[in-house]
Amino acid sequence: MTEFVTQEILNHGDKSAVVPVSRLQDIRQDIEDLKGSGFLNDFQKYIVDDLYDLDEPDADFEIRSILVVASPSPFLARIAFHWQGKRIPLMLPASYLDEVSGPPRIERYLNESLNPRGYHVQYAPRLPKKLFAVRSGLGLYGRNNICYVEGMGSSLFLATYFSDMPCTEESWRDICCMDLCESCQACLKNCPTGAITADRFLINNERCLTYCNEAGAERDFPEWIDPSSHHTIYGCLRCQMVCPMNGDYVHTLVEPAEFTEEETAFLVQGKSPELFPEELLQKVKALDMFNYLGALPRNLRVLFDREASS
C-alpha cells in the first residue's frame, strides 16, 4: 500500500514519505532535546510549546501512519503594483501562493485515491513538518534551517497527514545538514540580518527577515534592519538565492497577478477585506494573502519608498 500511495503522489507531481504513527514518540523526544539544549529563543519556545501539536487527533479511522508530502513550487513570484503613477513589480517567494490552498488539494487527491481501497487521510497542520520530512528521509536541512528535497531544492511547501494506511517499511534518519553545508557558507554570508550562524543549523529566527516582515502592522521594523535588506512583499529569499542546491530552480518564475492603483491603495491603507471590491478580493484569495494583510501596509510602503529613492 505504501508503494501505491507513493506512486500516486508522484503522479500528481509531488514527493512523499510514510512513517508509522509510533514515530510521534521520537519526534516528541527530538523536541524535548531541543528544549533542553538552551538554544531556543522566545519565539522558538512559543513555536514548540504553542504551535506544535504532537497528539493524535480524534478521527473517523484508526491512525496508523503519517504521510509527509513535498509539493514543488516555482522559486519566485513577481507581482506588479500600480502606485503613484508607476508600475512597480515586487518579488514574493512563490511557495506562499500555495500555503493555504495546497494542503487541501493534496488531501483531496489522496482521499480520492485511498477511499476506494478503504483508507483515509486527515490533514495534520500542527506537526513539525520540516522535522518529519528530514527524519523520514524525504528531505534534508540546509545550514539556513530550511528543508531541501531532491528535485525541488527549497522551492516547495510541506504538508503532513494522519492516515489509517499501514506502514511496514520506513526510513528514519538522524537530524543533520546536507553534506555540502559543511564547506559552504553562502547563505550565512548573504543573510542580511545575521540570523544564520556558523556553529549550528538552528538559526536565530528572531533576527530573520521573514519573522520581522510576516508580523502584523502593529510592529514596526527594528532599527537594526538595514532598509536595503527588504526585497520581498513578505518572507525572504536572500539565503535561498545563493544556495548551490537551488541552482536549477532560482530562475523559475510566475507572474500571477497585477494590482491596479485603486487596489494597491486598499492594501496600503490596511482596509478590511470586507470592504474590498470583488476583483481585489479574488486576487487576494488566489494568492493566499489573507494571513499577511496586516503586514502589507508596512511592507509595501518600505518597498515603494526604496523604489522611489532608487
Model confidence over 211-222: pLDDT tens digits?
Answer: 999 988 778 999
Write phi, then psi, for 10 (nearest 5 degrees): -60, -40
Helix (H) or strand (E) holding 157: strand 156-163
Q: What is the pLDDT of residue 43?
A: 93
The pTM score is 0.93
What mean pLDDT is reported for the chain? Answer: 94
Distances (CA, A) of 242 to 7, 141, 278, 303: 32, 16, 39, 22
Domain residues for the domain of 163 are 2-309
Q: How many CB atoms lie within 10 A of CB 232?
A: 20
The pLDDT tens digits for 124-169 are 999 999 999 999 999 999 999 999 999 999 999 999 999 999 998 7
Whether residue 75 contacts residue 82, with contact meaning beta carbons closer than 8 Å, is answered with: no
Distances (CA, A) of 141 to 2, 88, 145, 185: 24, 34, 6, 14
* Structural domains of the chain, count: 1
